[in-house]
Structures are given as structure tokens and as C-alpha cells.
């Protein structure tokens, strides 16, 4: 059956339970409550036992971040699956609204993932990548929004080209093939700019840092997404 030995299965199981307990604590009582002793208490164990599974408290939190991002990713993909693939704008809207909804529904998780300056996670396969992959896929499948290739600062060409490579490979691993020509540097630049605005709005809303009390931020968000779509070149 499984290649793993009995011991390895048990270990993996416990590891899952630990992170599940940590997750529950995070959601129900906030970041401060995610303590080794509390986690251990949850599964009827003593705190030092956790060191058999994680090198430190920080290490556990880091891995918890990975779990969270993976879950969010899956949720966004689910939202996306319900929309026919030729309705490009609706797909972008779904991802953006899904991201915002997730952030507002899981502020603790969002804060954890976005509040730690550098130390917590590997930058590669993270939350953003979901949005970005989707964006790349959509732009690639779109009738070529025609961006001025020279419109992006030449100092960025190197970075953008590298990112272009990553995106093309990521999209390919999802089954869809795109060429560098279809996903131009200009398009990549637009994607990154969209990410800046999407992230900016959501973070400001979650952190309550809008300059005034926005009684109903949703129409503002809708308007911004529409503007983004129009800036990218999607006017169907």
C-alpha cells in the first residue's frame, strides 16, 4: 500500500494534528494565543514533545503559514473553477473578490502571513503566486491586450524576464501552454501593478488603515478591480 512505514504515518498524522490545533488557536484566539504549551494542551501532550516535530516555535509558525497559503490557494482555485474559461474578466473578478473575502474572513491568518517582515516564509510558492498564476493564464488566453513593450522601465527588464520565465513554467504545470510573446514584459508589468493595488486595498481594509472610515468598502473594491481590468486592457 503506502510506502511509508507505520511510524512515519503516525508521525505525519501527529504533525497534522499539531498544525490543526495551532490553526484553531490562531483563528479563535489570535496570534498571541498560538503558544507551544497551548497547542500541546490541545492534544494532551507536554510542550517539549513538540520539539520532536518542529525545531522551534518560529519554525512551527513558518510551516503554519505554508498551510494557510495552500488552503487559500485551493479556495481561490475552487472559486475559479465555477466560471467558464472564456469569461476572462469574470475570472479575474472571482480571484480578486475571493482574495479579499478570504482576507476579511481570516484576518488572523492574513495578518500572520503579511505581518512578518522577512523571516517567516520562502517568497516563491506563496499566496501571491495564486493570483499571479491566474492572471498570467488569463492574459495568455486573451486576444493579446497589446502592451507597449517599451513602456516598462528598462531597468526592470531583467527582473521581469526572470519572472516571465517563472510564470510561463507555472502556467505550463497547470496544463496550459503560453509563449513569451503572448505573455509580454508589458503584460507582466501590468500583472505586478495589479497585485500592488489588490494587495494594497485588501491590506488597508484588513488592517483598518484607510484614511477615513469606509462604511461599505465593497463598491470601492469593485470599482478598483474594474479599473485594473481596464488598465490591463480587458474591455470585452
Partner DNA sequence: ACGGTTCAGTGAACGGTGTTTACAAAGTTG
Partner DNA sequence: CAACTTTGTAAACACCGTTCACTGAACCGT
Applying CB under 8 A, which residues contact a copy of itself? 107-108, 111, 114-118, 123, 126, 128-129, 132, 152-153, 155-156, 158-159, 162-163, 166, 192-193, 195-201, 203-204, 206-216, 218-220, 222-224, 227
The interface partner of residue 47, options being a copy of itself, DNA, none and the CB cut-off 5 to 8 Å by kind, is DNA
Which residues fall within 8 angstroms of residue 27, CB to CB, at 6 or more apart?
A: 106, 108, 109
CB 42 within 8 A of CB 24: yes
Residue 22 or 160 with smaller CB distance to DNA? 22
Q: What are phi and psi of 178, to 5 degrees?
A: -135, 155
Tell how far CA 43 is from the center of its chain: 29
CB 187 within 8 A of CB 145: yes
Q: Residue 4 interacts with DNA (CB under 7 A)?
A: no
Interface with DNA (CB under 7 A), residue from 52, 74, 149, 223: 52
Q: How far is the CB of 110 from DNA (least distance, A)?
A: 21
Interface with DNA (CB under 7 A), residue from 38, 192, 204, 206: 38
CB 58 within 8 A of CB 119: yes
Q: Residue 169 interacts with DNA (CB under 7 A)?
A: no
What burial letters (b/e) apply to 58-85, b meaning 16+ CB within 10 Å? eebbbbbbbebbeebbebbeebbeebee
Residue 44 or 124 with smaller CB distance to a copy of itself? 124
Q: Residue 31 interacts with DNA (CB under 7 A)?
A: no
User: In this structure, is the dihedral angle defined by the CA atoms of residues 158, 160, 165 and 170, taken in order, positive or negative?
Assistant: positive
Q: Residue 120 interacts with DNA (CB under 7 A)?
A: no
The interface partner of residue 56, options being a copy of itself, DNA, none and the CB cut-off 5 to 8 Å by kind, is DNA
Rule CB under 7 A: which residues touch DNA? 5-7, 10-11, 14, 35-38, 40, 44-49, 51-53, 56-58
Amino acid at each position: 500500500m503506502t510506502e511509508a512505514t507505520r511510524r512515519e504515518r503516525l508521525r505525519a498524522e501527529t504533525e497534522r494534528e499539531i498544525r490543526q490545533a495551532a490553526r484553531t488557536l490562531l483563528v479563535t484566539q489570535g496570534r498571541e494565543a498560538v503558544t507551544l504549551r497551548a497547542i500541546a494542551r490541545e492534544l494532551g501532550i507536554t510542550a517539549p514533545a513538540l520539539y520532536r516535530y518542529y525545531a522551534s516555535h518560529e519554525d512551527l509558525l513558518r510551516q503554519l503559514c505554508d498551510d494557510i497559503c495552500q488552503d487559500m490557494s485551493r479556495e481561490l482555485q475552487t472559486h475559479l473553477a465555477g466560471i467558464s474559461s472564456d469569461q476572462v474578466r469574470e475570472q479575474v473578478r472571482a480571484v480578486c473578490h475571493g482574495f479579499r473575502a478570504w482576507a476579511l474572513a481570516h484576518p488572523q491568518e492574513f495578518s500572520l502571513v503579511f505581518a512578518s517582515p522577512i523571516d517567516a516564509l520562502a517568497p516563491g510558492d506563496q499566496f501571491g503566486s495564486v493570483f499571479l498564476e491566474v492572471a498570467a493564464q488569463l492574459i495568455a488566453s486573451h486576444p493579446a491586450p497589446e502592451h507597449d513593450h517599451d513602456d516598462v522601465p528598462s531597468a526592470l527588464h531583467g527582473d521581469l524576464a526572470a519572472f516571465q520565465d517563472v510564470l510561463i513554467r507555472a502556467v505550463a504545470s497547470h496544463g496550459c501552454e503560453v509563449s513569451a510573446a503572448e505573455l509580454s514584459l508589458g503584460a507582466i508589468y501590468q500583472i505586478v501593478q495589479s497585485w500592488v493595488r489588490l494587495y494594497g486595498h485588501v491590506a488597508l481594509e484588513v488592517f483598518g488603515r484607510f484614511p477615513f472610515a469606509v462604511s461599505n468598502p465593497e463598491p470601492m473594491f469593485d470599482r478598483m478591480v474594474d479599473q485594473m481590468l481596464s488598465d490591463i486592457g480587458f474591455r470585452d
